[in-house]
A and B are shown apart, each in its own frame.
Chain A
Amino acid sequence: MNDRIDKQNSLVGRIIDGSVTIDSVTKFEDLLRVFPNDPGLHRVYADLLKKEKSLTAAAEAYGSAAKLFIASGMTLQAIVSKILEWQIFKPSQQEGQAFYTALHEGRHKDRAVQRFFAGMTYPEMIAFINKLMPRNFPAGVMVKKFGDEENTLYFVVSGALEQTDYHRLETGGRIQKKSTKDLVENDFLGEIYPFEEENVSQSDIKTITRVELAKISKSNLMNVCRKNPDLKLLVGNLYNRRSGFVEKEFNRTVRKTARHRLPTQVNLKIFQDEAGKVPLEVSGFTEDMSLGGARVVLGAKYETGYADSLTGKNVKIKIGLPTASNKLSVLGTIVWSKEVYLEGKTTAVVGIQFKEMTDTDRRLLEDYHYGSEGEQNLIWSLWGSLMEK
């Protein structure tokens, strides 16, 4: 992956998250030729075609997006793409069955939402998605307020939201802020289960970025469950799994929203175990970086097939921060590595734990990272709403 691809890669991310808009079908087609396997890009392209009233092409693009989402293990996103395709052209029984089979043969079913969909039979899935409605929200919008009636289940298809939980003080009933957490794709919200309980919201939920949600009302879900009793068990499992994984999920979402940070160019010198052997030199860019380490996508010089052997190797990493005139030089160790298929090329992603850096470099890195998730997210959402052309 060369520098040009690296830059375009970050551009693709920004097209998908909505911070960059391309409104020319031709330009989009050029981009898809460079990145033919990015499901998010196909999905945005399909939305553009739909907006342009090219319905046949839009349906086809939604279909391609769904297929690629399945291949990436993104079940919810695949279902939403399929719903949008089927809103244009009603599917035959055979097409519906084929999608269901593809979904079940797909990978990555380790998340509560993915398991929820994967656990459905074909009639259950059709009954459920018939009532599931995709909805888009701009950044900075309140989706649900403290005290609102809980009557809708929402799934986060893309984007990020902030959930602020409150509790009432025993004296005087004043509301006090309890905690704040981020919700990202594949999370869900809405306290509608058990169905017998009438709940009111204990949180404010506000969009941080542009967000797509898929929603189903409590009454519709109850009707679907009445006709498909086993589905109620899956809904129960969905809620049970969430409560069991709150802490784990929270940590994950915090890291995930950090991806709003811009990729940073890096050069790696990977030292070989054998004495005297020349270190391997590769360039790349960070997907996520903190004071403790970085996740780096390797660039053009990476040759396939040896990702596993990288784990445990010592590295010298040169980081080009926009805030610093000279590159930072940090010593570290690769603690995990994985081969990935990215934008039509096979490359590797490595997790590097930082071991040694000078005080000056540490200060520069600290400067670069100062700013909470909230600050970073507000900058990006304002960028989306004030600067987007």
Chain B
Amino acid sequence: MESAPIIWAVGGGKGGVGKSVVSTILAFWLARMGKRTVLIDVDLGGANLHTLLGIKSPPRTLNDFITRKFGSLEEICIDTEAKNLRLISGSSEVLSLANPHFSQKVKLINHFSRLDADYVVIDLGAGTSFNVLDFFLAAHEKIMVLTPEPTSIQNAYIFVRNAVYRRLSRLTSKNPSLQTLVKIAMDPKNELKVRTIKELLQFIQESGGKDLAEPIEKEIGEIRPAVITNMVRDDKEKNAGRIVQIVAEKYLMIQSTNLGSVFYDRQISSMVSDMVSLIKLDQSSHAFASIYEIVTKLLGN
């Protein structure tokens, strides 16, 4: 029996930071390296990944699977111009999956794992809704994209913070008193004066929940997001990802990996606006080279 594909999810909170472009080029390089890859647009309600691959109107979308028009994800995969790379397009028109129940998402993720591929790259939508966070948390490699702007850094941090609390909330779902405590701790001005995950775990321990605190700490420690700083123009800007890393380590007990940065490439902006497939991008492009390095790092992990 063939093994299940490795899932990479690409999120980051803010719209316009280049998640879709990074996802597409990551998937492209995987495919180029001989890995059978499926790129999935999970921006439920704002899907546009197909346009980055030069597909104006995808014949089948994820919505066709949700509405049971097709029985398997394999049937809605679309071949692309690149060898080894297939696409599952999202749908910006029909919103039947705009707010799926948690169990529906689990089901969908299970289907992703049954795809006939080596790698599945999921492009998540903007924001920190439960949809986005649940797909992010379910992936083997949790990739966050941000740009060297204050709002993007702030949003990337909020994204990882909400992911941690979402995981905590799911972990404590069968223990109402603990879940209430997690909800209280999420409020940054809570009266318990719990300001960090470490303090929350201490509080749980001191309240007699030593047995509970340890597995929670272990689960949180496994989140380990990987950060990419996109659209950098100079060396200083490469530090944006480092900021999220430091704050997340201090307040959330999260050990993240800094995957490095991707240089700003004017060519990409014009290709996106002209709806030209990114596969046609000049391979001497700095952005292309940076993402190649990132893929190499991820495969080495």
Residues of A within 8 A of B (CB): 179, 254, 262, 322-325, 363-364, 367-376, 378-380, 382-383, 386-389
Contact = CB atoms under 8 A, between A and B. Distances in A.
B61 interface: no
A372 B189 contact: yes
Interface string B134-153: 00000000000000101101
Contact of B15 (A325, A373, A374, A382): A325
B268 interface: no
A386 B151 contact: no
B148 to A, nearest CB: 7
Given A323-B14, A370-B186, A262 B242 contact: no
A387 B157 contact: no
Nearest to B199: A177
A374 B251 contact: yes
B176 interface: no
B258 interface: no
B188 interface: yes
B239 A386 contact: yes
A383 B158 contact: no
B231 interface: no
Contact of A387 (B151, B158, B237, B251): B237
B246 interface: yes
Contact of B247 (A369, A378, A389): A378
B162 A370 contact: yes
Contacts of A387: 148, 236-237, 239-240, 243
Interface string B198-222: 0000000000000000000000000
A133 B124 CA distance: 53
A386 B195 contact: no
B50 interface: no
A375 B127 contact: no
Interface residues of B, number: 35
Contacts of A322: 14, 151, 154-155
Contacts of B242: 382, 386
A323 B251 contact: no
13 contacts: A254-B189, A322-B154, A364-B127, A367-B127, A370-B158, A370-B186, A372-B251, A375-B188, A376-B154, A378-B251, A382-B243, A386-B243, A387-B237
A383 B127 contact: no
B161 interface: yes
A379 B189 CA distance: 17
Given A323-B127, A325-B46, A378-B246, A369 B188 contact: yes
B243 A379 contact: yes
Contacts of B107: none
A320 to B, nearest CB: 11
Contacts of B128: 323, 367
B13 interface: yes
B69 interface: no
B170 interface: no
A370 B189 CA distance: 9
Nearest to A179: B193
B126 interface: yes
B232 to A, nearest CB: 11
Interface in B159-210: 161-162, 165, 186, 188-189, 193, 195
A375 B13 contact: no
A287 B150 CA distance: 16
Interface in B222-266: 234, 236-237, 239-240, 242-243, 246-247, 250-251
B162 A372 contact: no
A128 to B, nearest CB: 38
A7 to B, nearest CB: 13
Contacts of A376: 154
Nearest to B239: A386
A323 B17 CA distance: 12
A161 to B, nearest CB: 17
A372 B158 CA distance: 11
Given A386-B242, A386-B243, A372 B155 contact: no
A368 B246 contact: no
Contacts of B158: 323, 367-368, 370-371
Contacts of A363: 129
Contacts of B150: 262, 379-380, 383
B127 A324 contact: yes
Given A370-B165, A375-B188, 8 more contacts: A323-B155, A323-B158, A363-B129, A370-B158, A372-B188, A375-B251, A379-B243, A387-B237
Contacts of A388: 236
B246 A382 contact: yes
Contacts of B161: 370-371, 375
B45 to A, nearest CB: 9
Contacts of B240: 387
Interface in B1-32: 13-15
Contacts of A386: 236, 239, 242-243
Contacts of A371: 154, 157-158, 161, 188
A383 B246 CA distance: 11
A323 B13 contact: yes
Query: Which 10 interchain pairs have the tightest Cβ spacing?
Result: A372-B188, A386-B239, A382-B243, A322-B151, A372-B195, A367-B128, A378-B247, A375-B251, A379-B247, A370-B158
